[in-house]
Structure 1
């Protein structure tokens, strides 16, 4: 049973879906970018990062996927939940898969530590770990902290960009948010929706936008990041003066000369980044 002292923070902007049935694993692996594990019990093993792409390679939905004894649980931002549900039912076709919309019955939470007694998966993206994703029925969440500020602060400091918080649907490529580095793309498996674009960006080195961490922010989300007088990107959700921005690396040749909303800011690469400021893509 979960200890009374365990702190779990409600992530109210996440929507849950459960995929079950003999073809559930195959369906997900055939459609999304990530490598979905074949088994798991929801007792702390790592969740899989993934994205559902348009045929043009833009992110339509993204989140984590993790097993529990009764299926595979995926979470997405509430803003794309209806579209995600509709698309996955379309891709299901005749496969033996049940897709349950759990937005009314279950909630997603964040815990710094493991939560025995509840479904929980390690929120680990490549080398970057951010506590645990917790899943519980609504009635079991009354004592959760009703704010996700702790989670948002942790993932922003780590340079993890989230759809809905930092960029809208059909706006960013998987490489733009670092999924190729954060184990959110399985480059060894067969085709999935948008796979040709992802593969081309990898092999041609054409990824020109990447996530960075911006500190000292006083402007709201959506404010442009300026490198001198030139716009390099925009900031996402702001928490405690920090934000993730998806920027054109080639436009930031002097990180000390970056401003947001007319104010100087500190801009840094995430610790997991394999890219650098000033880099130009192979097509530039």
Structure 2
């Protein structure tokens, strides 16, 4: 059975001859080094090196597609347009046209398991852009498609050999937290440094200049940050709550699911420390993994 979850998301499309050079100078990862088609996770930082946006950025022959969290596209589009001077690039918000879902496996008709990490194929009477992304601790696929094709796409997933079941976004979030995978929007990491919240996979230190790059270079030279992404365990841990150790602020939780929460936590917290999160006692479970 194919299990999928619709993703609350927004999207931008960049076209024009200078699109790749332009977006390369805005983002933290190296899109130029990706194959075509290809995809990289990346952040858009402010001049202090703090996260403003996180996106999965797809490079295709005719355009660049940015898959963002719900409601993020208008603000990122406004930011990008501020930096367009003589560049031949157009930024288009395509949220109303495109939708996305995550399949919790790679069991999708048309997906070539021996092919690349990004593929385009026909499904349900329309073209689908598929990207290999781990959102649950297991390999899965993000499918991006025209909203008008959604009914036929879902029908195409549900073949005799391959039935499907839809799980709510809350279930996907629970699996993400248990897998220790960071999410900027859901965890509330906006305004923080990428390295503090497990976003090393969204960084390239060899790609050249971008907004916030000077701060990232200093962090690389210093070799570490004071905080890291961690998992806390405890009964009914609250989300988005300050973490105290002996009355001292040492971090803050992101999303939580019952007995587990992701956290931005000081690295000098002892592994056996008992922490207080909104009146609930918690302990450090294990350092969490980086974002997918």
Q: CA deviation at 1:226?
A: 2.2
Number of the residue aligned with 1:196: 214
- In 1, distance between residues paired with 2:12 and 2:167? 21
- Identify if the C-alpha distance between structure 1 residues 25 and 39 changes in structure 2 by more than 3 Å, giving closer, same or farther: farther
SS in structure 1 of the partner of residue 74 of structure 2? helix
SS in structure 2 of the partner of residue 255 of structure 1? coil
- In 1, distance between residues paired with 2:216 and 2:207? 12
Pair 1:259 & 2:276 matched: yes
- In 2, distance between residues paired with 1:51 and 1:208? 20
Number of the residue aligned with 1:7: 3
SS in structure 2 of the partner of residue 16 of structure 1? strand
Preserved contact between residue 258 and residue 266 of structure 1 (Cα < 8 Å): yes
- Using structure 1 for the length normalisation, give the TM-score: 0.80
Question: When the two structures are aligned, how many residues end up with a matched partner?
Answer: 258
Preserved contact between residue 11 and residue 147 of structure 1 (Cα < 8 Å): no
Number of the residue aligned with 2:157: none
- Identify if the C-alpha distance between structure 1 residues 228 and 140 changes in structure 2 by more than 3 Å, giving closer, same or farther: farther
- Identify if the C-alpha distance between structure 1 residues 104 and 59 changes in structure 2 by more than 3 Å, giving closer, same or farther: same
Q: Among 160, 167, 175, which residue is 2:188 paired with?
A: 167
- In 2, distance between residues paired with 1:197 and 1:34? 15
* Structure with greater strand share of residues: 2
SS in structure 1 of the partner of residue 47 of structure 2? coil
Q: Which has the larger radius of gyration?
A: 2
Number of the residue aligned with 2:36: 40
SS in structure 1 of the partner of residue 195 of structure 2? helix
- Identify if the C-alpha distance between structure 1 residues 19 and 64 changes in structure 2 by more than 3 Å, giving closer, same or farther: same
Q: How does 1:1-284 map to 2 (within 5 A)?
A: 6-12=2-8, 14-36=9-31, 37-41=33-37, 47-114=39-106, 115=108, 116=110, 117=123, 118-123=128-133, 130-142=139-151, 143=154, 145=166, 147-169=168-190, 171-180=191-200, 182=201, 184-250=202-268, 252-270=269-287, 272=289
Residue by residue over 1:242-261, the C-alpha shift from the partner in whole angstroms, topping out at 9 and shown as x without a partner, is 321111122x1143412323
SS in structure 1 of the partner of residue 25 of structure 2? helix
- In 1, distance between residues paired with 2:175 and 2:42? 20
- Using structure 2 for the length normalisation, give the TM-score: 0.78
Preserved contact between residue 217 and residue 243 of structure 1 (Cα < 8 Å): no
- In 1, distance between residues paired with 2:52 and 2:215? 14
Preserved contact between residue 179 and residue 185 of structure 1 (Cα < 8 Å): yes
What is the RMSD of the two structures over their aligned residues, measured on CA atoms? 2.5
Preserved contact between residue 79 and residue 164 of structure 1 (Cα < 8 Å): no
- In 2, distance between residues paired with 1:108 and 1:193? 28
